[in-house]
A and B are shown apart, each in its own frame.
Chain A
Amino acid sequence: MSRLLETRDLTVGYRSRGQTRAVLRDINVQVAPGELICLLGVNGIGKSTLMRTLARMEPALAGSVEINGTDITRMSQYDLARHVAVVLTERVAIGSMPAFKLVELGRYPHVGWSGTLSGADREIVRDAIVAVGAEDLAHREITELSDGERQRIMIARALAQRPAVLLLDEPAAFLDVSARVEMIATLRKLAREQNVAVVLSSHDLELSLRMADTIWLIDGAGRLHIGAPEDLLADGSIAATFSGPNIAFSAGDRTFKIRNHRHGRAFVDGEGEGVGLARTVMEREGFEIIHAPEGAHVTVTVAASGWSAGGRKGQGLGTSFAELARFAREEAGATIPMEIQS
């Protein structure tokens, strides 16, 4: 694997009033061209600090960050800017400027003192705008753009810098669901097509696990786990990091489940998509879903015409899931079985 970006025993953290506070220690990671990496971890664990240290916006407390074998502390500001571009969480308030002008600012480390763009520079700006699918936004004022559109322009600006490594600190922070999916799909495409290494920190576990080539996972103890999403799912490190006393991360369907099984066990059977939906209803109402009828407190059968159920209080049937939920709530009102309470 070619090593575009590499850290050697990197320790990141803060330095204030002569005191150092290490957040993450002895990080050894490698990034290859064209790789999409998602950095995951709970809030405050040091994701941003690591990203900022990789971009030399914070000094490393120990160890080094190297790009193509050169320590970044030995690179000039311009040289670094030609290799690493960033997209930050801070919102830009740029005043009056069409979007393509903002993208042109990305050519900063490549143009002369006056900032005049050559024809080649303009072509690169154009390619960057096309690459993020922002042709229709280019002529519009920045202030008129939605959060998702502005983030696309910010990514285009970073691309116009023609970096080898693109670092994005929580790029989805302000975006709605569709814009998040769109953005990460764009980043993945860019990584592949332009051979740019993309490292992004994210809160969106499910999306990251689906789209990343490699996951950097910071667990609760501040250790870094590196691997393909499936490897980290398989070895349980993701579930261990994100599960808490009240929620559990399920590796199988990659979603969080609320640990709220105080009303008993439910067995749901039947045909069609309704089965899965009925299961989510029962789970939400506080039943643990089991996969065999033995030991179930409530049994639900789903068919095309509707559902029927039997439980501790009696029988019920209906056609809508709202009715099933009402039935489940009545069942939940029944005596809570002792063995579940503990």
Chain B
Amino acid sequence: MIALLVLPTDDHVDPSSGFLMTRNHQEQPRDGRYDAAIPALVASMRTRHGLVLGLAVLLLVAAFVAAICYGSTSIPLQSVIGALTGQPAGGNPDFDIVRSIRLPRAITACLAGAALSVAGLQMQTLMRNPLADPFVLGITSGASLGVALVVLASGTAIGAFLSSGMGLGGGFAIVGAATLGGLLVLAPVLAISSRLQNPSTVLIFGLMTGYAVSAFVTLLVAGARPDQLERWIAWGFGSFSAVTWTELQVLAPVVALGLVVACLSIKPLNALLLGENYARSMGLNTRAMRLLTMAVASMLAGVVTALCGPIGFLGVAVPHMARAMLKSSDHRVLVPATILLGALTALLAQLVSLLPSQLGVLPLNAVTALIGAPVVVFVILRSRNGVFAG
């Protein structure tokens, strides 16, 4: 360091060889330090990522099967495998339960968990804020406003979609309304976030917008009949059980579309790690990316909220779990890991909600909060300079 402090005076400058008379660019010597350290590091990172992703897949399969086995009645593994592999029912009632109740519920849990987690990851990267997720930013509240408006306006009882009687058209209407409601809240939040660089201001704005919208929804619902109110509250608890094969025809393609877009935007998401200014300087159309990500996150969170209720904490917690396990912020591994871990966490939450079997089911929202809150606290405690530091 000391040697560098000595400024070479002008007579040291040799114009032919450049300033510091260092090696010529064309003949960079093969420096052992770089060429040994980097491949070793890449290999160890690959190993870790492979292990994490492989383990996640294994656990996901196990949890998926477990989620089908357990419920109000336990179903033996044999029947589950039989039902899943398409054997004829042969009078076994378990086959029917698996095919018409447990399987769609498990698929819904996977899709919802993956969707909310990926939406959370997108929001965290886009806003460069570790606490951003669809719930905190008010997307979920906006989506429930959309749901409430459609349900009230159409004269259908609130929560009609809970009783599987809404049909495909109604399903898309509610999902569309939920997505628009989510965008309605997200757009001003993102507009604020591009103007104000302070992340805590943005989060507070999102939270307040969410509260205001929730209050408005409460006012709307206050006029509902008691039975409607009861269903509304049940919807508010969150549940994967209300989704049947009919609703899955809406949920599955919408979530699949969102996840495909998320996978295709791995490169721009990585560029956004450096912030919008750098991302633009590297060739990213940040405005289009912002709009696309906003729309996709709203759609993912909107469809899940419409069909499963407002489920919190998955969106904020799962990306952090993925980052901690992978020890990487690279979206190339983060996006698939978030999808897998999101599905896995949702299945586990579903299983946990079944635990007090005599008392019925725990509200899913409470379970995800119990899983998610410690993760958020961990994130806050781990960051040395506070989560809002740069």
Q: Which residues of A contact B (CB under 8 A)?
A: 55, 57, 77-78, 80-82, 84-86, 88, 90-98, 100-102, 105-106, 108-109, 111, 113-115, 126-127, 129-131, 135-136, 138-139, 161, 177-178, 181-182, 185, 188-189, 192-194, 207, 210
**Cβ of B225 under 8 Å from chain A:** no
Residues from chain B with Cβ under 8 Å of A193 in the complex? 18, 24-25
> Which residues of A have CB within 8 Å of B31?
130, 135
Flag if B33 contacts A136 (CB, 8 Å): yes
Tell me the nearest residue of chain B to A134, going by C-beta: B34
30 pairs of residues in contact across A and B, judged by CB atoms under 8 Å: A77-B280, A82-B283, A85-B282, A86-B278, A86-B281, A90-B278, A95-B323, A98-B41, A100-B38, A105-B270, A105-B273, A108-B282, A108-B284, A109-B282, A109-B283, A111-B267, A113-B264, A114-B266, A115-B270, A115-B332, A126-B34, A130-B31, A138-B34, A138-B37, A161-B282, A178-B1, A189-B18, A193-B24, A193-B25, A207-B7
Q: Which of B4, B38, B273, B284 contacts A139 (CB 8 A)?
A: B38
> How many residues of chain B have a CB within 8 Å of chain A?
45
Among B273, B281, B390, which residue has its beta carbon within 8 angstroms of that of A85? B281
A52 (CB) vs chain B CBs: closest residue? B277
B24 surroundings in chain A (CB, below 8 A): 193
Cross-chain contact B275 with A139 (CB below 8 angstroms): no
Contact A94 B329 (CB under 8 A): yes
A178 to chain B, nearest CB (A): 5
Chain B positions within 8 Å of A161 at CB level: 282
Contacts of A127 in B (CB 8 A): 25, 28
Given contacts A136-B33, A193-B18, contact A93 B7 (CB under 8 A): no
Asked whether B260 is an interface residue with its Cβ less than 8 Å from the other chain, the reply is no
- Bound: A114/B278 CA distance, A: 19
CB pair A93–B390 under 8 Å, yes or no, is yes
Residue B196, interface by CB 8 Å: no
**Chain B residues within 8 Å of A88, by CB:** 277-278, 281
Q: How far is the CB of A102 from chain B (nearest CB, A)?
A: 8
Closest-CB distance, B133 to chain A (whole angstroms): 16
Contact with A along B276-291 (1 / 0, CB 8 A): 0110111111000000
With A and B bound together, what is the CA distance between A135 and B30 in angstroms? 11
With A93-B389, A105-B274: A115-B267 Cβ-Cβ less than 8 Å: yes
A97 pairs with B281, CB closer than 8 A: no
CB pair B281–A81 under 8 Å, yes or no, is yes
| A84 and B281 form a contact (CB under 8 A) | yes
Nearest Cβ on chain A to B235's Cβ, whole angstroms: 36
Partner of A81, one of B5, B33, B283, B328: B283
Shortest Cβ distance from B127 into chain A, in angstroms?
12
Q: How far does the alpha carbon of A94 sit from the alpha carbon of B272 in the complex, in Å?
A: 9
A138 touching B281, Cβ below 8 Å: no
How many whole Å from B151's CB to the nearest CB in chain A? Answer: 40
Given contacts A96-B327, A105-B271, A106-B282, 14 further A-B contacts (CB under 8 A): A55-B281, A77-B284, A81-B281, A84-B281, A90-B278, A105-B270, A113-B264, A114-B266, A127-B25, A127-B28, A130-B28, A135-B33, A139-B38, A185-B4
Q: Mark B315-357, 1 if CB is under 8 A from A, else 0.
A: 0000000010001111010000000000000000000000000
Q: Does B72 contact A (CB under 8 A)?
A: no
Q: Are B4 and A138 in contact (CB under 8 A)?
A: no
Q: Which partner residue on chain A sits nearest B332 by CB separation?
A: A115
CB-based contact B266/A185 at 8 Å:
no
Tell me whether A192 and B19 are in contact (CB under 8 A): yes
In the complex, chain A residues whose CB is within 8 Å of the CB of B274: 92, 94, 102, 105
Within 8 A of A (CB), among B16-35: 18-20, 22, 24-25, 28, 31, 33-35
Report yes or no: A192 in contact with B390, Cβ–Cβ below 8 A: no
User: Is B128 in contact with chain A by the CB < 8 A criterion?
Assistant: yes
